[in-house]
Amino acid sequence: MITSVPAISSDRQAVLDEFRSTFGSPGAVVALRASGTHWIGVAGVADLAGARLTDTSRFRIGSISKTIIAFLVLDAVSSGELSLDDTVGELLPDVPLSGSPITVRMLLDHTSGLFNVGDEGDVIADIAKLTDPVLRSQATDLASRYAAGENVLIPDRLFVALADTHDRYFEPGTGYHYSNVNYQLAAMVLARVTGRSVAELLRARIIEPLGLRRTTLAPDDMSLPDMHGYVAGATGAGLKDVTDDTLAFGNGGGGGVISTADELLTIMQAIVSGRLLDATLEADMKRATAQSSGSYGLGLATYHLTCGTFYGHGGAIDGTQSIALIRPDASSGVVVAVNLRKATDPDLLKFADTLICAT
């Protein structure tokens, strides 16, 4: 734990300890930069075996990865490798999608109408609807292996095909519905137009320029993060470790980044500050769409805290929940993560508000 204001940090530590204990997660971590303070707080343990949770412990950031993927797409736009108005059909002609054309912009702001595979519906029922016999055979094999307890991963093309077995929520561009499939496709587009993997782009455009050391992307990095994730079982059944459940990662575009609280805060501040991106594209990233009722732009969500407006994103995957919030001028921000998912909402937004708005 580091801090530049010890007296204040002790108060924050007590608040963090109480928050973790009340929610019941094995561990919790916070990174905060505000008003000259740089504080990293940890509470509890990294796993139920008692491994120490530290200020450099890595965790799965889940859907906060979408902000990073959106930035990488916009960076490719800035370099002229693609346009936000390009359609998926033009960029990925070998990836079938029925229905009206979907643009890159629609992927990033969740206005494509594509079904949200994994979070909604019944994947097993969807497999039976696949018309491509090769994909159906692949999906059936994966489902059998997963049911037998094997760690398997749904390939991004299969993710898209499963989504395409459903009707669109709406015609592209006419509504808003959050879907992980949008960012599977965004990552596929990135790899196609740049000729580089998303992991390579992450290293070249974010990790190396920012001097980071502990940020990686799954599935390229299949190692387990230090901070294990747990789900609450049936009453009295205890907690189940689901850290290594790789099924829903696909190509990692929807939620594959692994990082530390402090490195994630550095990434998010750099993105929101605009110093890594053309000003016009940065403004596009922050501008929330009318379809989302003003809450979601291109990979960035808008949050209204008691001390003002913040940009950021939430994440939840494999027993870990997190949130990252940054002031519009990027002068301050906060990251919070807990390693438990259960029916009770930990209300990370409210807790983050308490931390940063009291500074």
Q: Which domain holds residue 300?
A: 58-114+168-325
CATH at residue 263: 3.40.710.10
Look at residue 108 and tell me if it is in a domain.
yes
- Assess if residue 137 is contained within a domain: no
Residue 65 lies in a domain: yes
CB-based contacts of 28, cutoff 8 Å, min separation 6? 16, 19, 20, 42, 43, 44, 336, 337, 338, 339
Predicted pLDDT at 8: 42
Count of domains for the chain: 1
Residues making up the chain, counted from first to last? 359
> Model confidence over 28-56: pLDDT tens digits?
999 999 988 999 999 999 999 999 999 99
Q: Would you say residue 44 lies in a domain?
A: no
226 found inside a domain: yes
Task: Map residue 323 onto helix, strand or coil.
Answer: strand
- Tokens 């599935």 correspond to 219
Residues in CB range of 326: below 8 A, 6 or more apart = 268, 269, 272, 310, 311, 312, 332, 333
Answer yes or no: are the C-beta atoms of 57 and 260 closer than 8 Å: yes
Instruction: Note whether 317 and 327 are within 8 A (CB).
Output: no
353 domain residue, yes or no = no
Model pTM score:
0.95
Looking at residue 121, what is its pLDDT? 82
pLDDT digits 0-9 by tens, 128-159: 999 999 999 999 999 999 999 999 999 999 99
Per residue in 72-121, pLDDT (tens digit) is 999 999 999 999 999 999 999 999 999 999 999 999 999 999 999 978 88
243 domain residue, yes or no: yes
